């Protein structure tokens, strides 16, 4: 049974196995100010009035990043996004802006040109499109041969209609990619927004689209992304896979929205007598991202929000990472699922979904499948005899038209999400993935954008077979004013992350090692595969066979093993403080832990005794409170922080208790008596460096 709108899910959370859930808080949380002070990030500063920034393209060859916003197209330097940005101001024509307002649009600032597509055409030219105040327009952009040329302008006379290329409505998501001079776009094709299509235009190929107003093909789709895959040694087999979500046709019982993967052959030319100008190779399948609780109930994350394509050794088999959220407002859950192209292909090679008539259930089609098998590319490995889709038989075209959906669904690798977010106060919106070589192996690190304007860096830690755990290494606020993250792009070459939202663009380094603290133990406990202790500081780790002094232990995060020689003395660096309490009053004992993952225990060596004993104290934020203290509560209190089995002292307080009768004698001098209850200090966001000690008690 599949449940989508879920009051039940809250219950489920209690019964789900912990595996995969990021239940623990981030080890380090940086506010926007902390991030800027760390000098590992830059925010793009722009003097013009604009909004809705989107990173549209990263060009690692020319070291540029292309960003679209309201009325502006930007070309930014990947090394420093503020270094001499190249700017095209491209507003909608003034009369169009006025028409748009008169037509009753514009309440949400729609009557501007929102730049939504930029793709390379060749070495010197790009192709860009915007919404043009509800009248999409496109143009050629000249960018010169090399980035040092510093040119970036619209080729005069090249502005043309962008229908079928850019959306009309700036709130609509779209997908677009140019392959060999041909544009493939997933977009709304009309002003009213009732006709969405997967469109092919430009170049020397005939325009092709999905069947119009046929909800079996597409049903109010929202396009998320795409990837080109060469499927065999035959160029004719090259396919475009498109990821999107759409309204479900399954009626009352199923979820309202489903995630999909569709595919088409790049060399599709449409049919000759039927399906003229339509895809003859369009097929789609459901993408499932779900988790099965201990009670056997399946919880589905049905809304695909963003994808990341990770290339592997085998160019035919990249991995697709998807971020999904639940539907409905009762519970806000997010999940990351990973799909292999081999699994996806198996579904497209499997049975077709079939419906006998209205009111019938979808079944697996058991009749005779025509030849060539629908979805196979003309001239490809399995259909070498037929050169063009125009030569496909009518039986093939009829079948394709009525059976675009595969019967089986695509399940993620290991049949479970790689990561689940149970925290209901925010969701994930976007993703980038890096593969990081560390001293003890290669680790997958996810950078996840949230709807609260932060980026989370999550390391995937392999557990038992097929099981993983997500460790949130850090969470950073990347904009001055919080706004949901729209895109994340990563440049492993530059070691930078680029992030956009409605309010701006920020670049940040993939690591902030020194922020974990300035001891070997802090560096080791952080378990960040980008970082290692180099003998003096927590610094970026670069794999090298000769640097044996570098300490890193991502797998276990065990300072006892990794930091021998760096943490010898028990209480070093912690100085004893004096504090006075009044008999019968309350005392606050301060204890600053370094990480939210640290648990605190207290040791007490009573006045006149030799040994420290563990005591249970009522904890509160930043320390503990002793109420109604007695004379025999005096002594030395040591606060110990324990993280991942590693203990060290975090504070030492010598508490003296003033007898009440002595206080009464001193009433003439009340101002000289310390306040019985001191307020806890404000909680710091950033850990202060602390010298580590190992516990020799
Ligand atoms: C910026 O442009 C928007 C158009 O949406 C306008 O409403 C706003 O007043 C402008 N702000 C400034 C400071 O010019
Ligand atoms: C790139 O394409 C543009 C537009 O089609 C064309 O004018 C230009 O000559 C091309 N440049 C190269 C180097 O092929």
Q: Is 47 in the pocket of ligand 1 (CB under 6 A)?
A: no
By alpha-carbon position, which residue is closest to atom 13 of ligand 1?
49
Q: How far is the CA of 494 from the centre of ligand 2 (A)?
A: 29
Per-residue pLDDT at 472 exceeds 70: yes
Is residue 670 within 8 A of residue 663, CB to CB? The reply is: no
Give the mean model confidence (pLDDT) for residues 135-161.
94
Give the mean model confidence (pLDDT) for residues 349-363.
86
Per-residue pLDDT at 211 exceeds 90: yes
| φ and ψ of 269, to 5 deg | -115, 10
Is residue 68 within 8 A of residue 115, CB to CB? The reply is: yes
Per-residue DSSP letter, 329: S
Q: Please, what is the end-to-end C-alpha distance for the chain in angstroms?
A: 55
Three-state SS for 563-585 is CCCCCCCCCCCCCEEEEEEECCC
| φ and ψ of 481, to 5 deg | -110, 135
**pLDDT tier at 357, thresholds 50, 70, 90:** confident
Lookup result for tokens 């909680």: 683
Average pLDDT over the chain, rounded to an integer = 87
Ligand that comes closest to the CA of residue 108 = 1
Q: How far is the CA of 121 from the centre of ligand 2 (A)?
A: 8
pLDDT digits (tens, 9 = 90+) for 275-322: 999 999 999 999 999 988 778 878 889 999 999 999 999 889 999 999
Q: What DSSP element (H or E) covers 98? A: helix 94-102
| CA dist list (Å): 21 to 14, 100, 333, 336 | 12, 47, 11, 11
Q: For 293-347, where are the E strands, in sequence order?
A: 298-300, 303-310, 319-325, 334-340
* Helix, strand or coil, per DSSP, at residue 364: strand
Sheet-wide strand order for 496-501: 41-43, 504-509, 496-501, 485-491
* Cα of 55 vs its chain's centroid, Å: 14
Which pLDDT score is estimated for 38? Answer: 94
* Token pair recorded at residue 446: 């996810």
Q: Is 49 in the pocket of ligand 1 (CB under 6 A)?
A: yes
Per-residue pLDDT at 253 exceeds 80: no
Q: How far is the CA of 111 from the centre of ligand 1 (A)?
A: 12
Which pLDDT score is estimated for 437? Answer: 92
* Helix, strand or coil, per DSSP, at residue 462: strand
* Token pair recorded at residue 114: 């929102």
Q: Range with the lowest mean pLDDT among 145-149, 208-212, 493-497, 638-642? A: 145-149
Is residue 692 within 8 A of residue 551, CB to CB? The reply is: no
| CA dist list (Å): 283 to 195, 233, 241 | 19, 22, 10
- Where do the domains of the chain lie, and which CATH numbers do they carry? 513-569 (3.30.1680.10), 574-664 (2.60.40.10)
Which pLDDT score is estimated for 12? Answer: 37
Per-residue pLDDT at 370 exceeds 90: yes
pLDDT digits (tens, 9 = 90+) for 514-530: 999 888 888 999 999 99
562-577 per-residue burial string, b: 16 or more CB within 10 A, e: under 16: bbeebbeeebeebeee
| φ and ψ of 5, to 5 deg | -95, 120
| φ and ψ of 106, to 5 deg | 100, -5
pLDDT digits (tens, 9 = 90+) for 39-83: 999 999 888 999 999 999 999 888 999 999 999 999 999 999 999
Per-residue pLDDT at 167 exceeds 90: yes
**pLDDT tier at 18, thresholds 50, 70, 90:** very low
Which pLDDT score is estimated for 7? Answer: 36
Which pLDDT score is estimated for 549? Answer: 58
Find the angle CA(451)-CA(457)-CA(463) to the nearest 5 degrees.
Answer: 120
Q: How far is the CA of 88 from the centre of ligand 1 (A)?
A: 18
Per-residue pLDDT at 676 exceeds 70: no
Which pLDDT score is estimated for 630? Answer: 92
* HSE toward the beta carbon, residue 262, CA cutoff 13 A: 31
Which pLDDT score is estimated for 542? Answer: 84
Is residue 262 within 8 A of residue 229, CB to CB? The reply is: no
Q: Is 233 in the pocket of ligand 1 (CB under 6 A)?
A: no
pLDDT digits (tens, 9 = 90+) for 112-126: 999 999 999 999 999
Distance CA 284, CA 353 (A): 10
Ligand 2 nearest atom to the CA of residue 122, by list position: 1
Which pLDDT score is estimated for 293? Answer: 77
Q: Is 107 in the pocket of ligand 1 (CB under 6 A)?
A: no
Q: What is the largest CA-CA distance in the chain?
A: 109
Helical spans, DSSP H, in 278-436: 341-348, 394-402
Q: How far is the CA of 125 from the centre of ligand 2 (A)?
A: 6
Per-residue DSSP letter, 502: T
Q: Is 109 in the pocket of ligand 1 (CB under 6 A)?
A: yes
Which pLDDT score is estimated for 594? Answer: 77
Task: Answer whether 0.95 is exceeded by the pTM.
Answer: no
By alpha-carbon position, which residue is closest to atom 14 of ligand 1?
49
Which pLDDT score is estimated for 292? Answer: 85
Q: How far is the CA of 126 from the centre of ligand 2 (A)?
A: 9
Question: Which of 119, 121, 157 to probe ligand 2 with, by most ligand atoms within 8 A of CB?
Answer: 121
Which residue has better confidence, 468 or 511?
Answer: 511
Per-residue pLDDT at 471 exceeds 50: yes
Which pLDDT score is estimated for 4? Answer: 40
Q: How far is the CA of 124 from the centre of ligand 2 (A)?
A: 7
Q: Is 140 in the pocket of ligand 2 (CB under 6 A)?
A: yes
| φ and ψ of 420, to 5 deg | -130, 140
pLDDT digits (tens, 9 = 90+) for 527-548: 999 999 988 899 999 887 665 6
pLDDT digits (tens, 9 = 90+) for 455-465: 999 999 988 77
Q: How far is the CA of 403 from the centre of ligand 2 (A)?
A: 41
Distance CA 303, CA 322 (A): 10
Distance CA 550, CA 564 (A): 12
**pLDDT tier at 331, thresholds 50, 70, 90:** low
* Token pair recorded at residue 240: 């475009």
CA-based torsion, 400, 402, 404, 409: positive or negative: negative
Which pLDDT score is estimated for 364? Answer: 93
* Token pair recorded at residue 131: 């919404």
* Beta-sheet pairing, 646-658 with 576-582: parallel
Lookup result for tokens 């378990």: 527
* Token pair recorded at residue 638: 């040591």
**pLDDT tier at 5, thresholds 50, 70, 90:** very low
Give the mean model confidence (pLDDT) for residues 322-348.
90
**pLDDT tier at 193, thresholds 50, 70, 90:** confident
pLDDT digits (tens, 9 = 90+) for 479-488: 999 999 999 9
Question: Which of 47, 48, 49 to probe ligand 1 with, by most ligand atoms within 8 A of CB?
Answer: 49
Which pLDDT score is estimated for 668? Answer: 56
Q: For 502-634, where are the E strands, in sequence order?
A: 504-509, 531-533, 538-540, 576-582, 587-590, 599-606, 613-615, 619-620, 623-626
Q: Range with the lowest mean pLDDT among 71-80, 408-417, 604-613, 668-677? A: 668-677
């Amino acid at each position: 049974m599949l449940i989508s709108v879920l009051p039940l899910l809250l219950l489920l959370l209690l019964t789900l196995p912990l595996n995969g859930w990021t239940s623990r808080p981030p080890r380090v949380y940086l506010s926007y100010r902390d991030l800027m002070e760390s000098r590992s990030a830059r925010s793009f500063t722009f003097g013009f009035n604009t909004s809705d920034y989107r990173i549209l393209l990263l060009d690692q060859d020319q070291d540029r990043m292309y960003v679209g916003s309201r009325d502006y197209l930007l070309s930014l330097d990947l090394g420093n996004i503020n270094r001499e940005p190249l700017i095209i101001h491209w507003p909608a024509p003034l009369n169009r802006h006025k028409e748009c307002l008169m037509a009753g649009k514009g309440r949400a600032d729609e009557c501007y040109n929102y730049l939504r597509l930029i793709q390379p055409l060749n070495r010197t030219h790009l192709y860009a499109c915007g919404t043009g105040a509800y009248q999409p327009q496109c143009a050629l952009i000249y960018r010169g041969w090399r980035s040092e040329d510093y040119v970036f302008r619209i080729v005069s006379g090249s502005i043309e209609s962008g229908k079928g290329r850019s959306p009309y409505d700036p709130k609509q998501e779209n997908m677009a990619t140019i392959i060999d001079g041909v544009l493939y776009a997933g977009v709304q094709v009309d002003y009213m927004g009732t006709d969405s299509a997967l469109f092919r235009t430009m170049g020397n190929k005939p325009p092709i689209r999905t069947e119009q107003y046929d909800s079996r093909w597409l049903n109010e789709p929202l396009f998320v992304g795409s990837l080109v895959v060469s499927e065999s040694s035959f160029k004719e087999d090259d396919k475009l896979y498109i990821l999107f979500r759409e309204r479900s046709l399954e009626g009352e019982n199923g979820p309202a929205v489903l995630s999909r993967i569709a595919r088409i052959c790049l060399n599709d030319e449409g049919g000759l007598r039927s399906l003229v100008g339509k895809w003859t190779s369009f097929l789609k399948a459901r993408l499932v991202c779900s988790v099965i609780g201990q009670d056997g109930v399946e919880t589905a994350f049905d809304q695909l929000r963003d994808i990341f394509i990770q290339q592997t050794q085998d160019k035919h088999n990249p991995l697709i990472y998807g971020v999904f959220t639940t539907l409905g407002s009762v519970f806000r859950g997010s999940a990351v699922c990973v799909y292999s192209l081999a699994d996806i292909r198996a579904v497209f090679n499997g049975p077709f979904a079939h419906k006998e008539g209205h009111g019938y259930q979808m079944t697996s089609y058991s009749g005779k499948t025509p030849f060539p098998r629908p979805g196979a590319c003309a001239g490809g490995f399995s259909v070498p005899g037929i050169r063009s889709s125009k030569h496909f038989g009518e039986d093939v075209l009829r079948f394709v038209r009525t059976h675009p959906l595969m019967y089986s669904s695509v399940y993620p690798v290991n049949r479970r999400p790689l990561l689940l977010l149970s925290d209901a106060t925010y969701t994930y919106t976007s993703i980038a993935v890096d593969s990081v070589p560390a001293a003890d192996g290669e680790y997958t690190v996810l950078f996840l954008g949230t709807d609260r304007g932060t980026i989370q860096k999550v390391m995937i830690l392999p557990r038992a077979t097929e099981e993983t755990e997500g460790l949130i290494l850090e969470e950073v606020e990347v904009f001055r004013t919080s706004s949901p993250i729209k895109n994340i792009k990563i440049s492993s070459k530059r070691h930078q992350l680029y992030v956009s939202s409605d309010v701006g663009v920020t670049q940040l380094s993939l690591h902030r090692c020194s922020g974990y603290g300035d001891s070997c133990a802090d560096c080791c406990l952080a378990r960040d595969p980008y970082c290692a202790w180099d003998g003096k500081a927590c610094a970026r780790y670069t794999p090298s066979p000769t640097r044996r002094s570098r300490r890193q232990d991502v797998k276990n995060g065990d300072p006892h093993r990794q930091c021998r020689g760096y943490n010898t003395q028990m209480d070093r660096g912690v100085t004893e403080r004096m504090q006075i309490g009044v008999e019968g009053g309350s005392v606050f004992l301060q204890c600053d832990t370094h990480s939210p993952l640290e648990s605190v225990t207290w040791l007490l060596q009573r006045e006149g005794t030799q040994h420290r004993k563990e005591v249970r104290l009522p904890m509160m934020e930043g320390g503990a409170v002793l109420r109604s203290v007695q004379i025999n509560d005096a002594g030395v209190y040591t606060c110990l922080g324990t993280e991942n089995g590693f203990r060290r002292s975090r504070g030492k307080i010598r508490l003296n208790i003033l007898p009440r009768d002595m206080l009464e004698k001193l009433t003439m001098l009340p101002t000289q008596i310390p306040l019985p209850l001191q307020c806890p200090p404000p909680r710091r966001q950033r850990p202060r460096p602390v010298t580590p000690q190992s516990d020799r008690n």
